[in-house]
Amino acid sequence: MSSVFGKNIKIAIFGQSHAEVVGVCIDGLPAGEHIDKEALADFMARRAPGNASFATKRKEKDAVEILTGLVDDTTCGAPLMAMIRNTDCKSKDYSQFKDTPRPSHADYVAEIKYNGFQDIRGGGHFSGRLTAALCIAGGICKQLLEKKGIEIFSHIYTIGDITEPLFEQIAPEKNMLEKLARSHFPVLNENIGQKMIAKITEVQADCDSIGGGIECMVLGMPVGVGGGMFAGIENHLSSAIFGVPAVKGIEFGNGFSCMHLKGSENNDAFCMTDKEVKTASNRHGGILGGISSGMPIIFRTAIKATPSIAKSQKTVSLSEKKDTHIEIKGRHDPCIVPRAVACIEAATAIALYDLLLTSKI
Amino acid sequence: MSSVFGKNIKIAIFGQSHAEVVGVCIDGLPAGEHIDKEALADFMARRAPGNASFATKRKEKDAVEILTGLVDDTTCGAPLMAMIRNTDCKSKDYSQFKDTPRPSHADYVAEIKYNGFQDIRGGGHFSGRLTAALCIAGGICKQLLEKKGIEIFSHIYTIGDITEPLFEQIAPEKNMLEKLARSHFPVLNENIGQKMIAKITEVQADCDSIGGGIECMVLGMPVGVGGGMFAGIENHLSSAIFGVPAVKGIEFGNGFSCMHLKGSENNDAFCMTDKEVKTASNRHGGILGGISSGMPIIFRTAIKATPSIAKSQKTVSLSEKKDTHIEIKGRHDPCIVPRAVACIEAATAIALYDLLLTSKI
Amino acid sequence: MSSVFGKNIKIAIFGQSHAEVVGVCIDGLPAGEHIDKEALADFMARRAPGNASFATKRKEKDAVEILTGLVDDTTCGAPLMAMIRNTDCKSKDYSQFKDTPRPSHADYVAEIKYNGFQDIRGGGHFSGRLTAALCIAGGICKQLLEKKGIEIFSHIYTIGDITEPLFEQIAPEKNMLEKLARSHFPVLNENIGQKMIAKITEVQADCDSIGGGIECMVLGMPVGVGGGMFAGIENHLSSAIFGVPAVKGIEFGNGFSCMHLKGSENNDAFCMTDKEVKTASNRHGGILGGISSGMPIIFRTAIKATPSIAKSQKTVSLSEKKDTHIEIKGRHDPCIVPRAVACIEAATAIALYDLLLTSKI
Amino acid sequence: MSSVFGKNIKIAIFGQSHAEVVGVCIDGLPAGEHIDKEALADFMARRAPGNASFATKRKEKDAVEILTGLVDDTTCGAPLMAMIRNTDCKSKDYSQFKDTPRPSHADYVAEIKYNGFQDIRGGGHFSGRLTAALCIAGGICKQLLEKKGIEIFSHIYTIGDITEPLFEQIAPEKNMLEKLARSHFPVLNENIGQKMIAKITEVQADCDSIGGGIECMVLGMPVGVGGGMFAGIENHLSSAIFGVPAVKGIEFGNGFSCMHLKGSENNDAFCMTDKEVKTASNRHGGILGGISSGMPIIFRTAIKATPSIAKSQKTVSLSEKKDTHIEIKGRHDPCIVPRAVACIEAATAIALYDLLLTSKI
């Protein structure tokens, strides 16, 4: 229990922000699957910093080295190990946070849990840097899902007080979805997207940061994947998604708004569509009783503002046991939501591919 | 993977709505823990039907029989198996749903996943009846947590369009919390509670149902429980909570509202309080980096309206592959939120106790 | 970790020797499998006491009640829970063993591990009685394997100093194997079997007990089941087999005798037989690199003599911290090997069926 | 399920014989443990080839690079990833084995299981080379056990028909044990050891190989580690030990010889020794009911002869479906037993440390 995930495949993530590498070992991949390294690099680029004016100034090439598990770029049944070298670490930035923990970071809880032995440099294993390893595993699972006709699409539906329509309201065409998959700031409405970017630029200028929300849609999942009780898609997906730092909530289908609806308003009627069983609406988000219904799987996650802000903040000195202030220098994203999109997709791909592998004898 | 949960303790839930029993096997409980059977019965009563005018007419005594694992009501290191007999089953009510699946129920996905062999009677293993087994395990874990000074409190904060204040807004005194723990319709504001009950009575009269929301607060969790990435409290808790049927979302701390806040607004400053490290606010919900911070753990779940409604609904005939209608007779709760409170607490207790058992050598 | 086993199916065993029941919950069984309850009862009878003059005088009907997981005797995808009532307990026999632990029993280690809270009655959860629960699960898995053409056969190859030939030496015909499957004292050579029984009768008369060995052969396992490193058949099988009390060793194929052979003597040449790839000999016991080779899987287990003997034995008084003596009254098998045969087959069936369910997408 | 092991720590092994690296990710190590890299290198050297005249000619420096999980050589709570580069691969040697599988190797079963996509070079993930990764993890766990006063010692007790006395017969002094721990051919009797080496040299000259046996003794394990049924030390240890290629059997305490003994001969009487509860003999091998008794844990494993021999052997052509012959060129150990000693100790250290971490709240 820690940085290992999965039942049929096992994802073991390793690395710290300022260790030599971050990476992942994936056990249980079926043999004979070709891995498109270029497509993987493209996926990694969606998470990489430096793609927008407002992103962190830390530059990493993030070149993925796959050292085991492939023969001629094809899985061979052996565990796949891949890693990325950490080349642009500035460790001296972080030494003070051991005594004066950064608000809303893991510094304080790590100090207690690990008796002061945690790697404080760059947030150590708690760093967002670790999501690069998640994206390697997720990028690979995403390719394997795509071979089965299962695709994941996402958009940023909220930044601060700016919100755009949801998938269910827009019902986007395929070419719109493909555009999302290539974008570094994926939105359904470009005008609103520009306002979101303006908002991020504004908070950055003010030495602040901002939160947001991501909506995900999974197309092509066959009926019958998942299971009852603890084997449900929601259970497995949420336990993967909360592996992405800064996620504060997850909701499926119409989510929290279901609280306000009557059964007659909330239920999705079954209907025959093109000789297939579908539902007329999709408030259930493609999951019934934990099991895929054949409708798009829809969920949203809330991402909090980067806690690293340049403004002065109140904190305590652990050694002196008194209140004090802290200013966090360094290179930080004013909004991690755009980069979190790939991470959420990665976690989704891992969880769903793992569920898909559940055996039917 | 299915109805088994846990790492240090293993909860295996069994039973179907109309099987002879529902129950649970709990493996890994420490030896020497006295189980208060009366307190357990009181906890079960909070989930039991029939405590309000509007609850399902199905009457179950829900007497828990603990058949193994105890000696003189004290754990002995052997697995604890407990069960409840299903005494008031009316199986003939359900036969038609195999061909004409009930909207927003698991009938259709179960038909596909289990090739028609699923137990259709009363929803089989997907029935809310199974949460009685969850509550046995949860009720026991709750007692074990309480011995460690860890307590779980909940209230219904939303029914339909009626909403009451959150824990953070009220900061309830201990006697108010204890009142919640005894209530069958726990709310912080009794006037609003009465309006909620009126709302439920109203939809019931209209052959309809209604959704709602539950907020949970865990007090007394020591700093340092949980872990990074996939070992976080959110990961483990959410994967347990989605084991409760009808949950559509979960959010921690300020949850989805974090999307709208700047870092400077969202961060919780550390401060010394009574010589202990605390935070001045608790938007983080007691969890940082997946690890308990020592502040109250706060989260909310969204519960959809019971999909079983007496109104006529559109569905399909699977055999004839055409659209049709269905009317669901039988005994159903117009609102499962009040009974779900104990279930959410049960899932919480199981997940947190399991995390608490994580070893420190 | 404890009495839970399996990756694709999860077996959770519960009960103590003198609890109300012993039983098992099996999670993950595929839906649509008919369970032959009569065949299960026959299998249980092979483990049941009282089938030989020398067996324990404890009489249990061992009627298996399957309370969940079946509809019309067919699996429905929900966990199967089955149990047996303990009807013939004489608890007063055991009270003294808490202070003066029985040699080579678990009394002493349980006292330390469970801080004195263990169920001492009849050995509690350590009792051989628990293997009845194992046999329920194993009997069911055995049926499911048989539907796939996979059969398990066993014989007693050693009792004390009396030994009969091994499967590889005899190459028994199918009717001989079927005879083994029906026998309560399965041997390949009836004359030697009579000598074994005489030996057991002899030690019983002398208030003593005797050990022995069981050889198992699995026919029909397709090539390619299992996996490398920790996923091997040997790993999984041994971790199940040591769940049977009194097993002191396990060896595959030619086992320990491989120590004495050269590579040229030990290797099994591949050859074409009836257009299929086979090996000319089977010293590898049907497993190469942890994976089934298509040849019979062969292994042997060593079973120690029942530690409960009527003779006076040296032990200590834990309270007085001094040496003392103990005499164990009560009803005990002079040789548990005949009854262990079904248990070994049960553990084998569970482990192999679990491996067989490992997914191929 | 595959190359992942452990409950409280998770060991994920990766690599193939001719991949760029072999290595391991260890999740769950407690923070604050200093790792002695020099001691680790010494342990690795015990497995390394080239330490005897008869060892494989493949030369690997086997320099362990620990890339994550340490700060100042001390565990920090983050997963530890360590690897070794494969520098001396000669891949061309292996191409023919895809069609004509080597007898008693995994070539054939891998071909079937992985549909021909397995890494055939050097045996791929089935190679003994992978035990280097096992030894990294095991070497680390061994250090952590030693800090708790738990030590593992081994000797080669059989090579071919040459056998030396067992630990129980010799009762070696501490300095003798320490000598074992430093030796590349550890035996209790040097004269017999010389005969074993002569035997290995003899079979090597004859283009053949030879099997043997290893006995292990674990000192210092406190009473009460392990658990009943599937949580026993034997279950966990055997499932790790069979991860070492070529192991064909494992026996605990007096092992298979228990088959021949009466209860009165096999039972180990408890006695007070130096005011502690001990047993007068140790036929039970330090484990009762799956739980450590405080006596030395004793077990033996049987290691088959290296299947790679230079002699011509019968096999089949999979493509032509006919019998043929094969000669295996290349660099192979005539006896892997000496190098397997460190591997067995490594697997033991991993399994026992994992059990030791099992929580007591």
Residue D360 touches partner B, C-beta closer than 8 Å: yes
What is the pLDDT of chain A when averaged over all its residues? 93
The answer to whether the CB of B355 falls within 8 A of the CB of B239 is no
pLDDT tens digits, B235-267: 999 999 999 999 999 999 999 999 999 999 999
**Which A residues 36-75 touch D at CB under 8 Å?**
67-69, 71, 74-75
Residue C323 touches partner D, C-beta closer than 8 Å: yes
Are residues A358 and C359, on separate chains, in Cβ contact within 8 Å?
A: yes
Distance from CA of B328 to the nearest CA of A (A): 12
Question: How much of chain B exceeds pLDDT 70, in percent?
Answer: 94
Which of B267, B303, B333 to mutate against chain A (most A CBs within 10 Å)?
B267
Are residues D261 and C232, on separate chains, in Cβ contact within 8 Å?
A: no
Task: Check residue B324 and report its DSSP letter.
Answer: E
d(C-alpha B48, C-alpha B60), whole Å: 8
Which of C221, C230, C291, C359 to mutate against chain A (most A CBs within 10 Å)?
C359
**Bridge-based pairing state of the strands B322-326 and C4-5:** unpaired
**A4-359 is a CATH 3.30.360.10 domain:** no
Nearest alpha carbon to residue D304 among D242, D347, D233, D255: D242
Nearest alpha carbon to residue A154 among A284, A282, A298: A298
Average pLDDT over residues C160-177: 95
pLDDT tens digits, A104-113: 999 999 999 9
Chain D residues whose CB is inside 8 A of the A76 CB are 16, 114, 117-119, 124-125
What is the pLDDT of chain B when averaged over all its residues? 93
**pTM of the predicted model over 0.95:** yes
Greater confidence (A136 vs B331) lies with A136
Distance from CA of A127 to the nearest CA of B (A): 9
d(C-alpha A250, C-alpha B241), whole Å: 12
Residue C358 touches partner A, C-beta closer than 8 Å: yes
Smallest Cβ–Cβ distance between C10 and the set B4, B71, B110 belongs to B4
Q: Which residue of D has its CA nearest to C241?
A: D235
Give the up-direction half-sphere exposure of residue D78: CA atoms within 13 A in the CB hemisphere: 35
Torsion-angle region of residue A161: left (phi > 0), alpha (psi -120 to 50) or beta? alpha
What is the pLDDT of chain D when averaged over all its residues? 93
d(C-alpha D361, C-alpha D359), whole Å: 6
Nearest alpha carbon to residue D44 among D345, D305, D245: D345
Average pLDDT over residues D35-42: 97
Determine the pLDDT at residue A96.
81
d(C-alpha B355, C-alpha B228), whole Å: 12
Phi and psi at residue D310, in whole multiples of 5°? -80, -15
Chain A residues whose CB is inside 8 A of the B271 CB are 314, 316, 323
d(C-alpha B206, C-alpha D120), whole Å: 69
Smallest Cβ–Cβ distance between D358 and the set B77, B228, B359 belongs to B359
d(C-alpha A228, C-alpha A283), whole Å: 19
Q: What is the 3-state secondary structure (H, E, C) of A253-316?
A: CCHHHHHHCEHHHHCCCEEEECCEEEECCCCCCCEECCEECCCCEEEEEEECCCCCCCCCEEEE
Are residues A361 and C357, on separate chains, in Cβ contact within 8 Å?
A: yes
Distance from CA of C78 to the nearest CA of A (A): 9
Chain A residues whose CB is inside 8 A of the C75 CB are none
Residue type, D336: I
The answer to whether the CB of B36 falls within 8 A of the CB of B89 is no
pLDDT tens digits, D113-162: 999 999 999 889 999 999 999 999 999 999 999 999 999 999 999 999 99
Residues of chain A with pLDDT below 70 are: 1, 50-61, 89-93, 331, 359-361
Chain A residues whose CB is inside 8 A of the D15 CB are 67-68, 78-79, 81
d(C-alpha B180, C-alpha B135), whole Å: 17
d(C-alpha B111, C-alpha A226), whole Å: 13
Task: Count the Cβ atoms, other than its own, within 10 Å of residue B83.
Answer: 27
* ipTM for the assembly: 0.96
Q: What residue spans of chain D are helical by DSSP H?
A: 37-47, 107-113, 131-147, 167-170, 174-182, 190-205, 233-241, 263-266, 337-356
In chain B, beta strands by DSSP E: 4-5, 10-15, 21-27, 65-68, 70-71, 74-75, 80-85, 151-159, 162-163, 212-219, 247-252, 270-273, 276-279, 287-288, 291-292, 297-303, 313-317, 322-326
Q: Which residue of B has its CA nearest to D147?
A: B361
pLDDT tens digits, B33-88: 999 999 999 999 999 876 566 666 555 567 999 999 999 999 999 999 999 999 87
Greater confidence (C283 vs B310) lies with C283
What is the pLDDT of chain C when averaged over all its residues? 93
Chain A residues whose CB is inside 8 A of the C228 CB are 77-78
Q: Which helix (H) or strand (E) holds C152?
A: strand C151-159
**Which B residues 338-357 touch D at CB under 8 Å?**
356-357
Chain A residues whose CB is inside 8 A of the B306 CB are 263
d(C-alpha B193, C-alpha D337), whole Å: 74
pLDDT tens digits, A115-165: 999 999 988 999 999 999 999 999 999 999 999 999 999 999 999 999 999
d(C-alpha C287, C-alpha D113), whole Å: 13
What are the residue boundaries of the structural domains of chain A, listed by start? 4-359
Are residues D357 and B359, on separate chains, in Cβ contact within 8 Å?
A: yes
Chain D residues whose CB is inside 8 A of the B359 CB are 8, 357-360
**Which B residues 202-221 touch A at CB under 8 Å?**
203, 208-213
Residue D21 touches partner A, C-beta closer than 8 Å: yes
Smallest Cβ–Cβ distance between A27 and the set D2, D32, D78 belongs to D2
The answer to whether the CB of A227 falls within 8 A of the CB of B178 is no
The answer to whether the CB of C233 falls within 8 A of the CB of C226 is yes
The encoded tokens of residue C109 equal: 């280690």
Burial of B322 (0-12, 13-18, 19+ CB in 10 A): exposed
Chain A residues whose CB is inside 8 A of the D115 CB are 31-32
Nearest alpha carbon to residue C49 among C330, C349, C329: C330
Chain C residues whose CB is inside 8 A of the D235 CB are 238-240, 242-243
Q: Which residue of C has its CA nearest to A78?
A: C228
d(C-alpha A146, C-alpha A132), whole Å: 21
| Contact pairs from chain A to chain D, CB under 8 Å | 169
Picking from A215-229, C141-155, D326-340, which range would have the lowest pLDDT averaged per residue?
D326-340
Determine the pLDDT at residue B254.
98
What SS3 state is found at A66?
Answer: strand
Q: Which residue of B has its CA nearest to C30?
A: B114
Chain B residues whose CB is inside 8 A of the A280 CB are 314
Smallest Cβ–Cβ distance between C356 and the set A7, A356, A361 belongs to A361
Are residues C356 and A356, on separate chains, in Cβ contact within 8 Å?
A: no
